[in-house]
Amino acid sequence: MINYILQQNIEVIANELVENELSSPIDIIKVAAKLNCCIEIVDFEPNDFHWHDLKNVEVKDVYAKMSRNSSKSKYTIKISRSLNEKRRRFSIAYEISNLILYDLKEGTSFIHVRQPTLFPYILEDFYKEAQANVLARAILLPKRAIIRSRELFIFVDDLVDDLFDLFNVSKEVIVNRLSNLGMLDDKNY
């Protein structure tokens, strides 16, 4: 059974995480700390993974790895040093989203890779991936900030450029977020 979370509930979750964040861009490290997550920027090596973790995946294609452990930091999110700052921020938000939406048992981990294998895929995994992406975008681009910026611009292109400058995320993230909020006509992008 797929436990699909409605957009309005994703907005509630994101708002709770960033409710006191008034700066732009959102301090994603601070958000992670609220959830007892330690962030490490690393160069992944093959011995960082169990052989079954990287089935059909090369180490260079790993963006992030999140683990649950029993040390003083309940969760560890390791992010590849090779990623640019915008991609790192999104990867951290994405891993936080997985943590919130899906149970991570002690001693297990999630691996986030460059190109997930889509075939054969399990429908439930596809929905989980989609929801984690939607929540990650909602964390990095709070609805209230988008609405505030939207009031300043007539043209969507100007809004996208403004959000790009303010929130340190990719234009793809911005366009998808605006689309999720119904603020963007898909044929424009």
Domains identified in the chain and CATH numbers:
7-141 (1.10.10)
Nearest 10 degrees: Cα torsion 102, 106, 110, 111: 170
Nearest 5°: the CA angle 80, 85, 88 is 40
Check residue 1 and give its pLDDT. 47
Instruction: Report how far residue 19's alpha carbon sits from residue 188's, in angstroms, rounded to the nearest whole number.
Output: 31
Check residue 105 and give its pLDDT. 64
Check residue 59 and give its pLDDT. 77
Q: What is the pTM of this model?
A: 0.85
Burial class (CB in 10 A: 0-12, 13-18, 19+), 109: buried
**Tokens of residue 110, six digits:** 């999630």
First to last CA, the chain: 34
Check residue 188 and give its pLDDT. 58
Instruction: Report how far residue 23's alpha carbon sits from residue 154's, in angstroms, rounded to the nearest whole number.
Output: 24
> Which residues are within 8 A (CB) of 108 and not within 5 positions of it... i.e. 6 or more apart?
67, 68
**Given the DSSP bridges, would you call strands 37-42 and 75-80 parallel, antiparallel or unpaired?**
parallel
| Sites in the chain below the pLDDT cut of 50 | 1, 119-120
Cis peptide bond N-terminal to 120, omega within 30:
yes
